[in-house]
Amino acid sequence: MPIYDFICSECGTKMPVLVDYEAKKGLELICVQCGGVMKAMPVAMFNLIRSTKTKQPTEQKKVKPCGHTHHCQCAAIKQRKPNPFQKQIDEALGNAENQ
């Protein structure tokens, strides 16, 4: 979120306020010094912050043998028996596809 400078129209007191752009549009503050109305000043300068690491764009995500493209534990989990709930899973997926 950007920091905007609000300035009092009566005494000239400045106050930095952390507020998003949409909320700043109609925001008027009361000056703590004189009780006047403080309005946001136009932005004169801003800084960009970025990380030092730059990621190279990947053309395609590599698909693992388990079918996932993300880090998973599928290779570490080895089922010794068939899934006892596979029938219910297949029925639920079949019902979901038919709807």
Query: DSSP letters of 9-58?
Result: TTT--EEEEE--HHHHTT--EEPTTT--EEEEPPP--------S--PPPP
Non-local CB neighbours of 13 within 8 Å, separated by 6+ positions? 7, 31, 32, 33, 34, 38
pLDDT lower than 50: segments of the chain:
none
Side chain identity at 64, as an amino acid letter? K
pLDDT at res. 85: 80
Q: How high is the pLDDT of residue 67? A: 65
How much is the pTM?
Answer: 0.43
Domain containing 30 equals 3-40
pLDDT given at position 20: 80
Q: What is the pLDDT of residue 57?
A: 59
68, part of any domain: no
Residue 35: its pLDDT value, please?
Answer: 87
Cα–Cα distance for residue pair 7/14, rounded to 1 Å: 4
Specify if 19 maps to a domain.
yes
Q: Does residue 34 form part of some domain?
A: yes
79 occurs within a structural domain: no
Identify the pLDDT of residue 60: 65
- Does residue 56 lie in a domain region? no
Q: Is residue 87 assigned to a domain?
A: no
How remote is the C-alpha of 39 from its chain's centroid?
28
Number of domains in the chain: 1
